Structure 1
């Protein structure tokens, strides 16, 4: 999963740059105003940071670098206007991008189901920071997610409403007594507040979803894996969000989320065994009126 990208380009005379998941193109009108567009060929928004190294007789509305949202498709991300009419203009910039929406916010506190079939007994454990490897080298800090262990393989479900944004389900592991494997199968969900949930250690070929699918809390994603691990059958869940660092760069960070069980919020300060429950209030929390009606009629 490639979440962060950087490219340097000079657009003195080149109106289109294509590389990676986000492409940039420009248009100049008769008044000399230049509009920069991002072409996003994925199914989820990306955040784009445009750094101008040269602005000759041109200004941006913010007076400098621009951070903008590149929605799926073609989005306007920056406008350059001549400072003085009748004089030459020039510009040069680099851009980087990260998956997700840096500007999105939750209307209410997001709640997450335990991503395991209801009724199962699980042991929840906060993972060791060494599991930074779970995020393909992204810097996650001290929090790196939660591991859910169980006695026998079980079905893994969506913990929250989201779009399937990335997945890999074709790895057939043959090594035994593992503690970690970067090649593990995973399914990732993108949420409306610009964040992601990544669930890994899944059994190859068992996915019930495909990229672009909309899922709701409790919907089955795949079957668990991990039988060849020293810890036995389990799945690992980590949540990521886009951020802008103090050095004005885009990155991803892991963050803890609030899980809910039968008796309300659940904290995993130490390994704890309990039975999974999926309260209907959490299942329906982020549904639109149309989605809620369909859910109630389908019960």
Structure 2
């Protein structure tokens, strides 16, 4: 893991540490105060944990571990101040990060459209962990998302307002009768409450969006795949959020969400067949006033 070391005899310093998608810079001013900045070159925020293994005559607001938000661009994530003036200072740190905003909160309960074009008949069912497919004696475990299957290929839509945060759409498979494939094409959306929606088993090169695009519920993002699966045409949807597992460890966890159809909320405790509907109140739920005005004028 990358580390950084500085001494107080420098009146001003600029240091740079690279660690994948998130990079770190540090600046020291004439008073010996050190500011650490995160450089985030992606289109979505990331959560970082800075673990100070050495703080000699320096203090931070979070002690030995600082958790902060790295917004797109350059943002300050930690400040180190000398404890005693005129004394030498040293510090050393490592850091880790996870995509998404650990601190984000939703003002209202988030609801999701079925990610299939309205009017199509689908069969929806909660998925089981891969281990249960490989070993029938394995017990059903944690939540891993929902599968939506349909009689024939169809357009796949954004289930909720979000920014396209990641995608892979170039895999063309040549195997048949599959149940799982690690190379599945997918599109991932980032939402304002810090969570993600990942939709996979998409048709190669069918994306109608690109990374950084803002999409709204019901917008077509790609075409479905899965014709070469034993279950036929389908897509899989899973929702993820950043979590702090320990004081200095971050991770992602899957969680169930609330889907809404023509008759209100839909539960998938058991496989269920129904016709997809996209209620307008869900489509406009997270729109800003300007976005809502544009939507209404375009109807």
C-alpha distance in structure 2 between counterparts of 1:257 and 1:184, whole Å: 22
C-alpha distance in structure 2 between counterparts of 1:83 and 1:181, whole Å: 55
In the alignment, what sits opposite 2:208?
208
Say if 1:43 and 1:165, in contact at 8 Å, map to a contact too: yes
In the alignment, what sits opposite 1:9?
3
Give the Å deviation of 1:132: 10
1:198-237 alpha-carbon deviations (Å, 9 max, x no partner): 0000001111111110000000000000000000000000
The CA RMSD over aligned residues, in Å, is 1.4
C-alpha distance in structure 2 between counterparts of 1:25 and 1:298, whole Å: 45
In the alignment, what sits opposite 2:222?
222
In the alignment, what sits opposite 1:36?
36
In the alignment, what sits opposite 2:137?
none
C-alpha distance in structure 1 between counterparts of 2:37 and 2:234, whole Å: 43
Q: Higher Cα Rg: structure 1 or 2?
A: 2
Structure 2 segments unaligned to the other structure (5+ residues): 8-13, 134-140
Say if 1:58 and 1:91, in contact at 8 Å, map to a contact too: yes
Give the Å deviation of 1:246: 3.6
1:64-116 alpha-carbon deviations (Å, 9 max, x no partner): 31000000000000000000000000001110000000000000000000000
TM-score by length of 2: 0.93
Tell me the number of residue pairs that the alignment of Structure 1 and Structure 2 aligns.
286
Q: How does 1:1-299 map to 2 (within 5 A)?
A: 7-12=1-6, 15-130=15-130, 142-246=142-246, 248-299=248-299
1:149-203 alpha-carbon deviations (Å, 9 max, x no partner): 0000000000000000001111111100000001010000000000000000000
Give the Å deviation of 1:10: 2.5
Greater than 4 Å deviation, 4+ residue runs: none
C-alpha distance in structure 2 between counterparts of 1:281 and 1:91, whole Å: 52
SS in 2 for 1:292: helix
* Closer/same/farther in 2, CA of residues 67 and 171 from structure 1, 3 Å limit: same
C-alpha distance in structure 2 between counterparts of 1:66 and 1:118, whole Å: 45
Give the Å deviation of 1:12: 2.4
Give the Å deviation of 1:122: 0.4
C-alpha distance in structure 1 between counterparts of 2:124 and 2:183, whole Å: 23
Give the Å deviation of 1:18: 1.4
